[in-house]
């Protein structure tokens, strides 16, 4: 095993290489492009077998990925932000084909306005497509989750494509120490893709065309995808245990940090959860009874595990790096649905929204969220969703609005 400083993008490329991918359909988009560049360099230099083909769009890229996976080859691709949205039609389509492959998404905020920085609105838009979702907090997790994703999606009880998500810039271009398994180790864990009845043979052609179905059979097929996704919870737990035995790194579906004796819990996805761990440590030093839960899986949603870990807690603060317009944070809504009607559910589940467009969440803001949560539980009420924003930021935005207003008035006068 080799230890090296890798970006999240390089870790994703290593995950694909160690998994022995056969085919990489690709289209570049910031901040994902480095993944494809790295794979192209390895393939061109003869360091990695397989074929990389650049397509004319993300839509055709996912079409090619699904079609190739349906012939029984192991497929890898990557995208980000607007690219994921451009591919959205085909995300639903290839999941319906039950064609397993791995798609890396490097999360980036969506237009408009345009940003190159990270948040989770892109990946949340794919929540109901049929793709499974694994969310990473470190570069090591990116590599390891890619290996896990192939085993998960290709399992006969699942047979669904998988998205491995990492935060743009915060992980994609940040170097961290990563343990790279030897090729034999990676190959042994990833195994080979057994397509069973998914195959293409020129000598014995067989149509796998998509039928046009009415209500009853359509409902049956869609429900089977749902059941397969639910199966993935059990399969993931088995694979995580096998991975821990092989590599010594444990990746439960929900990571619990200092939660056993905690009265208050923070819940969040992605790389900012590492900052939340630091805040939990500082709050613990100050006498707070607080912990952190980080779901690695968003689809399937590990509801039973979260219900168990949150039973009897006084209050929960969910920190979303996304905003569902007119409703609030997606993770907050998901968790409320999982906790509703549970006998020992926390009485207060507060919603905070931050980190949009790459905005930082400071240590002080984690402390303020914890304080707001404690006050809410003392008062026995759940506060409305709150956007993390400082007074200085508000003053700056108002100044910009005032300048824009003056400029508009001057333009109207000249006209």
Per the CB < 8 A criterion, the answer to whether 125 and 185 are in contact is no
Asked whether residue 409 is assigned to any structural domain, the reply reads no
Say what the pLDDT of residue 311 is: 98
Domain match, 106 and 215 both = yes
Asked whether residue 398 is assigned to any structural domain, the reply reads no
Domain match, 109 and 229 both = yes
Strand partners for 328: 324
Helix (H) or strand (E) holding 166: strand 162-167
Total tally of structural domains belonging to the chain: 2
pLDDT tens per residue, range 21-66: 999 999 999 999 999 999 999 999 999 999 999 999 999 999 999 9
Domain match, 236 and 130 both = yes
With cut-offs at 50, 70 and 90, classify the pLDDT of residue 93: very high
Q: Is pLDDT of 397 > 90?
A: no
17-26, 77-86, 195-204: the lowest-pLDDT one: 195-204
Q: Give dist(CA 410, CA 414) in Å, integer.
A: 6
36-45, 84-93, 340-349, 384-393: the lowest-pLDDT one: 384-393
- Give the mean pLDDT of 111-119: 94
- Give the mean pLDDT of 230-258: 98
Domain match, 192 and 318 both = no
Asked whether residue 231 is assigned to any structural domain, the reply reads yes
Domain match, 206 and 260 both = no
**DSSP labels for 305-359?**
HHHHHHTT-SEEEEEES--BTTTB-HHHHHHHHHHTT-TT--SEEEEEE--GGG-
- Give the mean pLDDT of 103-129: 96
Picking from 344, 341, 338, 270, the residue whose alpha carbon sits closest to that of residue 106 is: 270
Side-chain-side CA neighbours of 1 within 13 Å: the count stands at 11
Domain match, 198 and 264 both = no
Q: Is pLDDT of 374 > 60?
A: yes
Q: Is 25 exposed, middle or buried (0-12, 13-18, 19+ CB in 10 A)?
A: buried
Domain match, 357 and 215 both = no
Asked whether residue 27 is assigned to any structural domain, the reply reads yes
Mean pLDDT of the chain, nearest integer: 94
SS3 77: strand
Domain end position, chosen among 222, 247, 272: 247
With cut-offs at 50, 70 and 90, classify the pLDDT of residue 399: confident
Query: Positive or negative CA dihedral for 215, 221, 225, 226?
Result: positive
- Give the mean pLDDT of 291-308: 98
pLDDT tens per residue, range 170-196: 999 999 999 999 999 999 999 999 887
Domain match, 187 and 261 both = no
Q: What is residue 75's DSSP assignment? A: B
314: CATH: 3.40.50.920
Instruction: Please give the structure tokens belonging to residue 204.
Output: 């014995």
Asked whether residue 400 is assigned to any structural domain, the reply reads no
pLDDT tens per residue, range 304-317: 999 999 999 999 99
Asked whether residue 414 is assigned to any structural domain, the reply reads no
Domain match, 287 and 334 both = yes
Strand order in the sheet with 76-79: 76-79, 102-107, 162-167, 132-135, 297-299
State the pTM of this model. Answer: 0.94
Domain that holds residue 206: 2-247
Q: Give dist(CA 92, CA 78) in Å, integer.
A: 16
Domain end position, chosen among 247, 267, 299: 247
Asked whether residue 410 is assigned to any structural domain, the reply reads no
């Amino acid at each position: 095993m080799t230890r090296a400083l890798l970006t999240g993008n390089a870790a994703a490329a290593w995950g694909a290489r160690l998994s022995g991918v056969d085919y990489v359909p690709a289209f570049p988009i910031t901040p994902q492009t480095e993944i494809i560049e790295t794979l192209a360099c390895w393939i061109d230099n003869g360091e990695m077998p397989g074929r990389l083909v650049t397509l004319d769009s993300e839509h055709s890229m996912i079409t090619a990925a699904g079609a190739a996976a349906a012939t029984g080859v192991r497929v890898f691709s990557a995208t980000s932000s607007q690219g994921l949205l451009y591919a959205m039609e085909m995300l639903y389509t290839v999941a319906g084909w039950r064609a397993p492959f791995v798609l890396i998404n490097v999360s980036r905020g969506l237009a408009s306005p345009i940003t190159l920085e990270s948040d989770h609105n892109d990946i949340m838009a794919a929540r109901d497509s049929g793709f499974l979702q694994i969310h990473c907090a470190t570069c090591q997790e990116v590599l390891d989750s890619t290996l896990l994703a192939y085993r998960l999606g290709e399992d006969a009880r699942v047979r669904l494509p998988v998205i491995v998500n990492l935060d743009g810039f915060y992980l994609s271009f940040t170097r961290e120490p990563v343990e790279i398994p030897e090729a034999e180790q990676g190959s042994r864990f990833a195994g080979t893709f057994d397509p069973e009845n998914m195959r293409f043979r020129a000598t014995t052609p067989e149509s796998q065309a998509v039928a046009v179905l009415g209500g009853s059979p359509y409902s049956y097929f869609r429900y089977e995808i749902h059941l397969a996704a639910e199966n993935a919870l059990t399969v993931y737990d088995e694979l995580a245990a096998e991975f821990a035995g092989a590599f010594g790194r444990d990746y439960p579906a929900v990571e619990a940090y200092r939660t056993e004796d905690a009265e208050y819990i923070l819940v969040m996805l992605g790389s900012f959860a590492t900052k939340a761990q630091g805040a939990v440590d500082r709050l613990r030093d100050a006498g707070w009874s607080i912990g952190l839960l980080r779901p690695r899986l968003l689809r399937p949603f590990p509801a039973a595990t979260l219900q168990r870990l949150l039973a009897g807690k006084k209050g929960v603060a969910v920190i979303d790096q996304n905003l569902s317009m007119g409703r609030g944070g997606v993770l907050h809504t998901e968790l409320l649905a999982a906790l509703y009607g549970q006998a020992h559910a926390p009485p207060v589940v507060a919603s905070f929204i931050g980190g949009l467009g790459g905005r930082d969440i400071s240590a002080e803001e984690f402390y303020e969220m914890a304080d707001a949560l404690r006050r809410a539980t003392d008062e026995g009420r759940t506060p409305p969703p709150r956007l993390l924003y400082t007074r200085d930021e508000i003053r700056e935005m108002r100044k910009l609005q005032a300048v824009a207003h003056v400029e508009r008035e001057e333009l109207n006068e000249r006209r």
